[in-house]
Amino acid sequence: MSSAHEASARATAVATLGETIPTDAEVTPLDGRRWGMVIDLDRCTGCQACVVACQAENNIAINEENRVLERRAKTWIRIERYWEGEFPNAKARFIPVLCQHCGNAPCETVCPVWATYHNPEGLNVQVYNRCIGTRFCANGCPYSVRYFNFWNPEWPEPLNNQLNPDVTVRTKGIIEKCTFCLQRINRARVTSKNEDREIADGEVQPACVQSCPTTALVFGDLNDPSTTASRLAESERRYTLLENFGTDPSVVYLKKVDPHVEIDHHHGHHAETAGKHA
């Protein structure tokens, strides 16, 4: 789906713009890879370790209390908490939501300056230098995972010393979002190239995946059937978020197993709560 879409978009672009756009092969030797993530909601405890790790890894501005209250806090990955049932039998359900790196992304088509585009490895990439801040992409995104910089971020001493040198600090007036820790993918690519081998499964771990105490998050190449991520993505509990938008996300969720609900093994899905999250 993703590569066919990519190819047709490229054909159109080449027809319009001439043979000036580099082909996939010129851009990258790693053709056919699709980075993706599997999130097992049965393991997720909603501890927010991923949120903190992401904040530290990606130089995300400090979310002070009033920033949160005015709904301008930036959280590239956020834990959405939903209550189920009535008190006292209420249950909290957690779902980590990050950029879904859609194969058919609504944000990419609407950006007037190509600040967001799909790279050949299936990542939805935000090019900060191009972004002019129309915020059209943020409106188009059904997951609301794109965040706008209303001001220049500031880190008081000594917090500025812990900024990650591999990640751009975003200026005011542009959109930012989850990159699947692109800097870590690039580091793994360089290391593996120097050692003359392919990137191993599990070698790339975004900060959220690395910090998850229950290994609810698994990252890997979804196009390679041998990786842990793609094996988990085949689970009968799999679903993608807001499937009806047809966005073809690269993030696969595994439905929470509810011990109180009978499982209909013949049909391979839960009898009562099937599709509740999807």
Partner 1 sequence: MQEPVIADNKTANRELLDFVFSWPKWFFLVGGALNGLIVAGFLVVVVMLWFGLQFLGYSHPVYWGFLIVNFVFWIGVSHAGIMVSAILRLTQAEWRRPVTRAAEVLTIFSLLTAVQFPLIHSGRPWRTMYWTFPYDWNRGAWPNPRSPLVWDPSAIFTYLTSTILFVYVALIPDLALARDRAPNPISRAIYGVLAMGFRGSTRQWRIQAIAGILLSAIILPIFVSVHSIVSWDFAVTSVPGWHNTIFAPYFVIGAVHSGVSAVVTVMIVMRYAFGLKRYITRDHIDSLARLLIVVATVWLFFFMLDLFFGLYGTEPAEVDTWQRRLIEPPWIVLAIIFIFTAYLIPVPMWMFRSVRRNFFLMFVTTILVNIGMWIERYMVVVPALERKSGLTFTYGDYAPSLSEIILVIASFGLVILGFLTFAKLLPIMPAADIKEGQILADRIKVGRANVPAAMRE
With CB under 8 A as the contact rule, which of the stretches 27-35, 65-73, 220-228, 253-261 interacts with partner 1? Answer: 65-73
> Considering Cα of 83, then 84, then 88, then 89, what sign does the dihedral take?
negative
Tell me which residue of 219, 221, 181, 217 sits closest to 198, measured CA to CA: 221
275 binds partner 1 per the rule CB under 8 A: no
Residue with token string 């129309």: 134
Answer yes or no whether residue 273 interacts with partner 1 by CB under 8 A.
Answer: no
147 near partner 1 (CB under 8 A): yes
Supply the minimum distance, in Å, between the C-beta of residue 95 and partner 1.
8
Total residues binding partner 1 (CB under 8 A): 48
Of 25-33, 127-135, 206-214, 255-263, which segment contacts partner 1 by CB under 8 A? 127-135
Q: Is the peptide bond before 120 cis (omega within 30 degrees of 0)?
A: no
Cα 257 off chain centre by: 23
Question: Looking at 44, 50, 99, 131, which residue binds partner 1 (CB under 8 A)?
Answer: 131
Choose, by CB under 8 A, the member of 119, 136, 201, 237 that binds partner 1. 136
Out of 23, 28, 45, 109, point to the residue binding partner 1 (CB under 8 A).
Answer: 109
Determine, following the binding rule CB under 8 A, whether residue 178 of this chain makes contact with partner 1: no
- Using the rule CB under 8 A, which residue among 46, 140, 183, 201 binds partner 1? 140
- Burial of residue 70 (number of CB atoms within 10 Å: 0-12, 13-18, 19+): exposed
Please select the residue that binds partner 1; options are 7, 8, 11, 13, rule is CB under 8 A.
13
Query: Does residue 62 touch partner 1 according to CB under 8 A?
Result: no
In terms of CB distance, is 172 or 197 closer to partner 1?
172
Q: Which stretch binds partner 1 (CB under 8 A): 107-115, 195-203, 210-218, 248-256?
A: 107-115
208 Cβ partners below 8 Å, 6+ apart?
A: 50, 51, 53, 54, 77, 96, 98, 217
For position 197 contacting partner 1 by CB under 8 A, the verdict is no
Cα–Cα distance for residue pair 48/268, rounded to 1 Å: 31
Token pair recorded at residue 237: 């509990």
Residue 139 is a binding residue for partner 1 (CB under 8 A): yes
Distance of CA 91 to the CA centre of its chain: 26
Using CB under 8 A as the binding rule, whether residue 81 contacts partner 1 is answered as yes
Segment holding 25, helix H or strand E: helix 24-27
Tell me the window of 9-17, 156-164, 207-215, 229-237 that interacts with partner 1 (CB under 8 A). 9-17
CA neighbor of 218 nearest in space, from 243, 198, 235, 195: 235
175 binds partner 1 (CB under 8 A): yes
